[in-house]
Structure 1
Amino acid sequence: MLKFYCAPWSRASGVFWLLEELGQPYEIELVDIRAPGGVPESYRAIQPNKKVPAVEHDGFVITERAAITMYLADAFPQAGLAPPIGDERRAAYLTRLVYCDSVFDPAIAARAQGLKYGGNGFSFGTFEDMVANVEKILAGQAYAVGDSFTAADTQLASGIHFTMNILKVLPPLDVFGDYLARATDRPAYRSYQAKEAELARRATPVQFKAPRNA
């Protein structure tokens, strides 16, 4: 049994896409994070901060996007989305995955909220360094890990799409746009988009606010 706790057009989107890439049956549990009454307190038993996504697989609960992505890609190796241990790409694969959660995401959030700080002020470093690093990676190769699509791309590409095209925080560099065109030109991505749009009809409408520095 594979259950996916999610909200449409949220931080769960990359895992939603990953689930379609895996080609395994799964059950969707809508967590309406935008409901007027908030997320039910009972959801803390699944995710202690009442955030999405979360996944339940055979009685085990996994939270945090990087952990979920690693777990699922390794649990279903037939999908070919994770370099196995011993593969020379494994180190870069794990690095990119964790980077999305530990550097990319908080640097974007800090910039969107207008937070001013020095390079050593926070563990994730500066927004400018993050942008330069992602640009360098994608300028030198087709995907997050070399020339082949991996589970890391579901997280990096979904993050770039949201922060560049929706939040308008990440600069619209050509290298980012070219990468998105490659990474999202997949049947699983189109399938995920259709399912997420259907899920959105059941949830409280999204109201995105322009970032302070826009």
Structure 2
Amino acid sequence: MITLYHSPNSRSTRIVALLKDLDALDTVGIEVVTIPRMDGTGARDPRNPHPDGKVPLLDQDGVLVWESSAIVQHLAELFPDAGLSVPAGDPRRGAYLSWLAWYAGVVEPVLTLQALGIDHPGLSRTFRTADHVKARLAAALADRPYLLGEHYTAADLLLHSPYAWFGKPGLPAIDAWVDRCTDRPGARFAAEFDAAHGG
């Protein structure tokens, strides 16, 4: 049995979208839980086994997978027929894994610090800047519709998500990519699911 612990309009919304794009909604159950929100609302849900009370969390037969990049990779590989992962041996595998890790190690902290208005030379030297993130993405998308070429992968789902949340950056290559990603069945389903479950 596989369960996704999800709170509407949170980082786990992109995992709901992924489940739809993987055609995995009949296999993975979604347990809606509460979480403490940045605005002070919400609360930790005792039903949520995440050690920090956060989402997303995936429970597969008692084995917990946490952090979006790990969950995205795990699910995309668990449902390979959808074609959203890049298998071992494929020459695109290195770039695929790098994009997933870059999201967790660079994009998430950089864009979160920017949203909070926190800036320091040590942070930008360590994690780079929001402008650097945009430049890297724009360069990757300059001559292709998706990060790895002609086909959408789970890396696109993960990497576009902060711009779907915070707003597009105003760079044509990135804005068009975000539009393509948010026009997918998974993104539309996740928005409808959240609206129906209190989001």
TM-score by length of 1: 0.82
| Alignment-derived partner of residue 194 in structure 2 | 196
CA contact (8 A) 1:16 1:192 kept: yes
Give the counterpart of 1:147 among 146, 150, 164: 150
CA contact (8 A) 1:119 1:126 kept: no
Alignment-derived partner of residue 156 in structure 1: 159
- Cα distance 1:116–1:27, how it changes in 2: closer, same or farther (>3 A)? same
Deviation at 1:37, TM superposition (A): 5.9
CA–CA distance in 1 between the matches of 2:123 and 2:112? Answer: 17
1:68 aligns to 2:66 (yes or no): no
Distance 1:181 1:40, change over 3 A: closer
In 2, Cα distance between the equivalents of 1:82 and 1:64?
17
**Do the aligned partners of 2:141 and 2:147 also contact (CA within 8 Å) in 1?**
yes
Letter in 2 for 1:132: A
Structure 2: runs of 5+ lacking an equivalent: none
C-alpha displacement at 1:63, in angstroms?
0.2
Q: 1:119 Cα deviation (Å)?
A: 5.3
Further displaced range: 17-26 or 84-93: 17-26
Let me know the Cα RMSD of the aligned residues: 2.0
CA distance in structure 1 between the aligned counterparts of 2:99 and 2:162, rounded to whole angstroms: 12
Query: Mind listing any 5+ residue stretches in structure 1 that lack a counterpart?
Result: 166-170, 202-214
Aligned residues: 194
Q: After the TM superposition, which of the residue ranges 176-185 and 18-27 deviates more from structure 2? A: 176-185
Which shows bigger deviation, 81-90 or 24-33? 24-33
Identity of aligned residues (%): 34
- Equivalence for 1:118: 121
Aligned twin of 2:184: 186
| 1:11 correspondence with 2:11 | yes
Superimposed CA distance per residue, residues 115-148 of structure 1 (whole angstroms, 9 cap, x where no aligned partner): 1211566632222211211221122321122110
TM-score between the two structures when normalised by the length of structure 2: 0.88
8 Å Cα contact 1:118-1:126 kept in structure 2: no
Deviations 1:20-67 (A, max 9, x none): 111122221122124846213564xx2222211011123211000010
Residues 64 and 117 (structure 1 numbering): CA distance in 2 closer, same or farther, change over 3 Å? same
| Counterpart-to-counterpart distance in 2, 1:164 and 1:104 | 14
Residues 121 and 186 of structure 1: CA distance in aligned 2, closer, same or farther (over 3 Å): closer
TM-superposed deviation, 1:3: 0.7
Superposed counterparts of 1:1-214, under 5 Å: 1-24=1-24, 25=26, 26-33=28-35, 34=37, 36=41, 38-40=43-45, 43=48, 46-118=49-121, 123-164=126-167, 171-200=169-198
How far apart are the structure 1 equivalents of 2:72 and 2:176? Answer: 23
Shift of 1:80: 1.1
CA deviation string 1:1-23 (max 9, x = no partner): 22111111111121111111111
